[in-house]
Amino acid sequence: MKKVLVANRGEIAIRIFRALTELAIETVAVYAQEDEGSVHRFKADEAYLVGKGKKPIDAYLDIEDLIRIAKDSEVDAIHPGYGFLSENIDFARRCEEENIIFIGPKLHHLDIFGDKIKAKEAAIAAGIQSIPGSDGPVADLEGVKAFGNKYGYPIIIKAALGGGGRGMRVANSEADVKDSFERARSEAKAAFGSGEIYVERYIQDPKHIEVQILGDAHGNIVHLYERDCSVQRRHQKVVEVAPCVSISEKLRMEMCHSAVQLMEHVGYVNAGTVEFLLEGDNFYFIEVNPRVQVEHTITEMITGIDIVQAQILIAQGKDLHKDIRIPQQKDIPLIGAAIQCRITTEDPMNNFLPDTGKINTYRSPGGFGIRLDAGNGFQGSVVTPFFDSLLVKACVQASTFELAVQKMGRALKEFRIRGVKTNIPFMQNVISHPVFLSGEAKTTFIDTTPELFEFSKVRDRGNKMMQYVGNITVNGFPGIEKRDKKFFTPARKPAKLLTLENGYESAKNILDKNGPEAVVEWIKNKQEVLLTDTTFRDAHQSLLATRVRTQDFLNIAEETQKGIPQLFSSEMWGGATFDVAYRFLNEDPWERLAKLRNKMPDTLLQMLFRGSNAVGYQNYPDNVIEAFIQQAAQNGIDVFRIFDSLNWIQQMEKSIQSVRDNGKIAEAAICYTGDINDPTRDKYTIEYYKDMARELENQGAHIIAVKDMSGILMPQAAYRLISELKATVNVPIHLHTHDTSGNGIFTYAAAVKAGVDIVDVAMSAMSGATSQPSMNSLYYALVNADRAPDISIENVQQINHYWEDIRSHYSDFEVGISAPSTEVYQHEMPGGQYTNLQQQSKAVGLVEQWDEVKTMYATVNQMFGDIVKVTPSSKVVGDMALFMVQNKLSEEDVYEKGMSIDFPESVISFFMGDLGQPTGGFPEKLQRIVLKDKKPITVRPGSLAKPVDFNEAKKELAEKIQTEPTQEDVLSYIMYPQVFLDYRKNLESFGEVTLLDTMTFFHGMRTGESIEVQIEKGKTLIIKLNQIGEPNSEGMRILYFDLNGQGREVVVKDHSITSTKLVRKKAEPTNKEHIGATMPGSVLEVLVKKGDRVIQGQPIIITEAMKMETTIKANIEGIIDQIYVEDNDVIETGDLLIEIKAK
């Protein structure tokens, strides 16, 4: 024998080529068109296209074309491998007719064992017990039912020419027979070319044992011991063990002897496997596989015998013992134990549906005792829906079963396969389960062990991170102009900070030791004015659209605490930072809080809390407010600055009490608007503010804040306001302002003179304009005065250098004012809103009309009755201003045409009373126009809201994110349902992108650039972008990276390019009326038509992928409303196939 053709593909073709090469025999491969890039093609000496123009499976079943190629290439023999034509007697006969050796059993044996019915007859004739079954093929549905009625259910319907779990269906009752019969027959026809089936009684909980046989033409037959193939799913073997560890030596010898007895009875030649079902100590013959088996590998490992080479040599007429040198039966060794795991591209978290796509990462295990038989398992390989999902067979051998399990565990752990889903997590669960470890696993093991399907999520950190980087590199960061990434040197960190010799007892230390009241007394006893640093929250919210990332805070947090221990507090949480972290930064704000708490244990951490709106833009039930405050306090917030966007104290009462109940500092804020020194502004007078301060003190506020959110508190007004408030209440006064007008330092100097206790400032590099006044400047403004801040200006300057450098990283978000703007005294826009509204104007195409928007903002404020403007009320004014400018509406137009205008939802909600009641009430005429026929509420919205059932909310969220949510997750979901779900989706897609440096996060990478990402202590990813490929017709680009020195490819959709590919509508997973594709593949048959009435559980469509048919059933009762596919359509996972209108 000089040349052999292998009529197969993938790993078994490669396995046979290797055996042939070792025997110095030339090799010939065949490949279907869809397999033109398959590895097996290139492993052979010659390779030829087979079945041109035919479907992928049909190509490998094209007997005449295989014979043509064999003759043209002048081969001596054909090895069929397993599956396809390996048991096809017609193929073996054609080989014989053409004088080509068929490397396998004789025609006589294929005739017997290729037909399960004849095989049973042979077994019975050889004296081996068999399972009760039909006397021959069952021709129709009635024949199956008759067998079920005679022997009882369950029964199993099998392809007569089948194997490998194909064409097998279990019917547990007569109701299951029709579908099971049709599916088994259809699969059998597709996989084996014949729809002939037979029926057997189904033994429900056996072990599946098979005995490996080798026989030669000289009458020699030996067994190579048994394999335990009980771990199965859908009748397909998943994990195999050799030998079976749970049977006695006596039972082993009985089964092996029976197998040899049968094969001697028929005079079997070549390799084959005799299969039994074992129930207790009773074993029943089920079939013979007259071919090499997928799991032959582990038998080779425990015996040292090359089964495939033996097949080839037997086909040449060699003697098992004399020529092939296989020992006599008694001398065949049994060396330890071996295990095989079939690694497939099936998704165990999605009912094992085959996955397809490109393998962008492939790293395999190795070392002593590990064997890998792979087909197309390599980086860059594309897994298609056309063939079996097997990727690689992982086999291990050790001296004992227990050691083999350990080795397999290590092998599975070393695999890194990304780009397609695999069953590796499932395999890891199987081999570590006590039942498997005991050796007692039965064929029902997988079906009856739900914990096997509880998986830890694969983190895949490197590939996910590169996917994010690739997307940003190609498409840019949302909301900013795409540009080349600049190069920055690392931000300067303080070289050496001055420290106090005897330390410093901070407000945080006092709070933790003695509680909030002690902090209040501490403040009162301080002569110097105290400072709150807003750099970590309001400063970047006001200047940089709230986009500064947690990483940039953490890098300076410890130095800030060490260098400025005298700070009253650091404002670092709440307000817009909460939802922006989720929306734009792919960050969890709760994690920001936890990390900063860890870095700054001796500093009071302060948040901005919107009263009944919490950190959202609507009113929430009281129990949500209480739960949020409790969680925030528990996680590290010490000072809650509580305000209401309309200064309605009823909206603040619950929050104040809840903060007190949690032992934290309740700082109740009065939002300043108007001008107390302007006699024409008589709505917000000095008496108004004094009355509000008294009421807040009575409500239990530890501190009263004056929240000048727009920066319109003029210096003289500040002196008067603070003086009179200090004379009115007996709690500290904390002043917050914005430096929009440029008068911030002057205002603070007046307030300090009037006796203000605490003022809000920011690092100089993050101050001024719409942010707070500069900490550095205030120090020098008050230096040598009685109430000068007690801080080290040298330390502050060093820390400020860091922020000078960091701010440049966020230059793309610098859209605020570049110089003092006294316009703020007219439009009264909050500093934190200025940059955000400017971004919104840009997004809706009004950037050129920004001045008009500002003017309209002031107009809307007066239309609304001169309201307090702070989130969320300021957002309402901003929304209305944008709406009017965009639609070219004047104030007169609104009053004249308003009944026919659809106003923004936020405006309608405001006039409904959803935010509360403004001072002086709503302007009645405008309220009627906006609400039309709706009736507004006049009570506190939270009093009408039904309490949230947290258990139900947690259950709902768990179902959506497929993991157990934390209390923090639940609270975020309640406040921002879709925003939180989008964040979780991004986290799933891109991983922990918070670990990326800021420039890469916003701008991706330059070609040739390398970055380092520390993903955990002692683990660093080195990522290099080598090349950006050209887009294809679908607008997809391949980005070529190195990850820790290994090449990786990432595919990114270039959104600037229009795709020419048909894109199907996707099913919404939470919509029960949507029926989506559960796997990629094709539509075999649509079973319904539009208008049909269907019941829940009724089959409506059949799909196929990798030779596996799936019947998709209606999940609700209803009417077929839309059908989006036809028979033979190619589909992708998640494609919307059918819509059902629920009835």
Residue 1046 has, within 13 A of its CA and on its CB side, a CA count of 12
C-alpha–C-alpha distance, residues 980 and 615, integer Å = 13
Is 481 annotated in a binding site? The answer is no
Question: How far, CA to CA in Å, does 184 sit from each of 164, 171, 1108?
Answer: 13, 11, 11
* Residue 179 CA neighbour count, 13 Å, CB half: 18
Q: Where do the DSSP E strands lie in 345-452?
A: 346-347, 353-354, 357-358, 361-363, 370-374, 382-383, 390-398, 416-418
**Which is it for the CA torsion 158, 162, 163, 165, positive or negative?**
negative
Residues in the chain: 1143
Letter string b/e over residues 1099-1113, b meaning 16 or more CB atoms within 10 A of that residue's CB: bbbbbbbbbbbbebe
Q: Is 707 annotated as a binding residue?
A: yes
Distance, in Å, from the CA atom of 552 to the CA atom of 643, rounded to the nearest integer, reads 28
Distance CA 123, CA 734 (A): 94
Residue 954 known to bind ligand: no
C-alpha–C-alpha distance, residues 1083 and 1127, integer Å: 5
Longest dimension (CA), the chain: 119
- Kind of pairing between the strands at 703-707 and 733-736: parallel
Annotated binding residue 200:
yes
Residues 6+ apart with CB under 8 A from 267: 108, 215, 219
Burial (CB count within 10 angstroms: exposed 0-12, middle 13-18, buried 19+), residue 267: middle
Residue 738 marked in a binding site: yes
Asked if 758 and 729 count as a contact pair (C-beta separation under 8 A), the reply is no
Residue 764 DSSP class = G
Alpha-carbon torsion, ordered 616, 620, 623, 627, to 10 deg: 0
Known binding residue 218? Answer is no
Is residue 681 marked as binding?
A: no
DSSP 927-944: HHHHHTTPPPP-S-HHHH
How far is 734 from 717, CA to CA, in rounded Å? 15
Active-site choice (166, 291, 537, 547): 291
Give the three-state DSSP class for 440.
coil
Is 871 annotated to bind a ligand? Reply is: yes
- CA nearest to 595, candidates 626, 554, 543: 554
Which pair of tokens denotes residue 781?
Answer: 């403004």
Cβ count near 1012 (within 10 Å): 9
Q: Which DSSP helix (H) or strand (E) runs through 793? A: helix 793-808
Sheet of 46-49: strand order equals: 46-49, 26-31, 3-6, 77-79, 101-102
Give the DSSP letter of residue 485.
P
Alpha helix stretches (DSSP H) within 239-329: 249-266, 296-303, 307-315
235 belongs to an annotated ligand binding site:
yes
787 in catalytic set? no
The total of other beta-carbon atoms located within 10 Å of residue 697's CB is 17
In sequence order, what E strands does 178-220 have?
Answer: 197-201, 207-215
Q: Is the peptide bond before 977 cis (omega within 30 degrees of 0)?
A: no
Cα separation of 1055 and 1063, whole Å? Answer: 14
Q: Whole-angstrom Cα distance, residue 149 to residue 169?
A: 17
Cα pseudo-dihedral 737, 738, 740, 745, rounded to 10: 60
What Rg value do the Cα atoms of the chain yield, rounded? 38
CB-based contact 444:233 (threshold 8 Å): no
> Which residue ranges make up the annotated binding site for ATP?
116, 200, 235
Q: Which residues carry out catalysis?
A: 291
> Which residue ranges make up the annotated binding site for substrate?
610, 871
